[in-house]
Structure 1
Amino acid sequence: MSEKENQNRSVEKTVRDIRRATRRNYSAEEKIRVVLEGLRGEDSIVELCRREGINTNIYYRWSKEFLEDGKKRLAGDIVREATSDEVRNLRTEARALKETLADLLMENRLLKKSMIGDGEDGI
């Protein structure tokens, strides 16, 4: 392999690495928005993908996942994941329960110490 071929491969690898590193990550909401726009059919899929800066293969993968997961959900085959608000509320509730438990444990220890200090045995 010539030095020029090695240099070309190195340049190609660098370009691939840069593209991979700068690739945009789409949220679930953004993916759903794009898929729904495509399903509406107001613009062609090619135009939609060009506007969104994605490859048409990515659009069709998102569309397939969207439709398959929707079908599973309607059939009751999957468990719904918690929304971020539900997760936040559950974390708040868990924190409050842990604090309550810690208070009760501390109170229990203090009561035991006070009973031992009063000369009572058998705790």
Structure 2
Amino acid sequence: MLTSDRGEGSIAELCRREGIATSLYYSWSKEFLETGKKRLAGDTARQATGVEVKDLKAESSALKEVVADLTLENRLLKKTCSRMGETTNEISRLRDA
């Protein structure tokens, strides 16, 4: 972490050494402090990062596909059992066995 508290020089010198813009340092610092204040006040919600959003969308898509597959399989099994003369109660009994 960049800090001049340890006698390492000014923030501007540290930013130059680390290759970041001073304005970027101050925006990160402000964001960090504001987030800390919110967390201390009990606000634990935060914005998701782009990577998190992408991962959640992929997971959601995969889960929707699984639900669709299971729904189709369930309908097929019900149709097959009804053609064989099985009732819904018998299907439940077979599933529980």
Give the alignment's TM-score, normalised by structure 1: 0.44
Q: Which residue of 1 aligns with 2:35?
A: 69
Distance 1:62 1:103, change over 3 A: closer
Q: 1: CA distance between counterparts of 2:71 and 2:23? A: 57
**Residue deviations 1:43-102, cap 9 Å, x none?**
3212111113333233222212211221111212241456868x8589558735742x23
Amino acid at match of 1:53: G
- Gap runs ≥5 in structure 2: 87-97
Which structure has more relative contact order (CA 8 Å, sep 6+)? It is 1
- Gap runs ≥5 in structure 1: 1-35
The residue matched to 1:38 in structure 2 has which SS? coil
Alignment of 1:1-123 (within 5 A): 36-38=1-3, 40-41=5-6, 42-80=8-46, 88=55, 92=59, 95=62, 98-99=65-66, 101-115=67-81, 117-118=83-84
**Residue deviations 1:96-119, cap 9 Å, x none?**
5742x2343122221343245447
How many corresponding residue pairs? 83
Q: 2: CA distance between counterparts of 1:55 and 1:72? A: 26
Q: 2: CA distance between counterparts of 1:73 and 1:39? A: 25
Distance 1:92 1:57, change over 3 A: closer
| Contact 2:15–2:22 under 8 Å retained in 1 | yes
The residue matched to 2:20 in structure 1 has which SS? coil
Higher normalized helix content (fraction of residues): 1
CA RMSD of aligned residues (A): 3.8
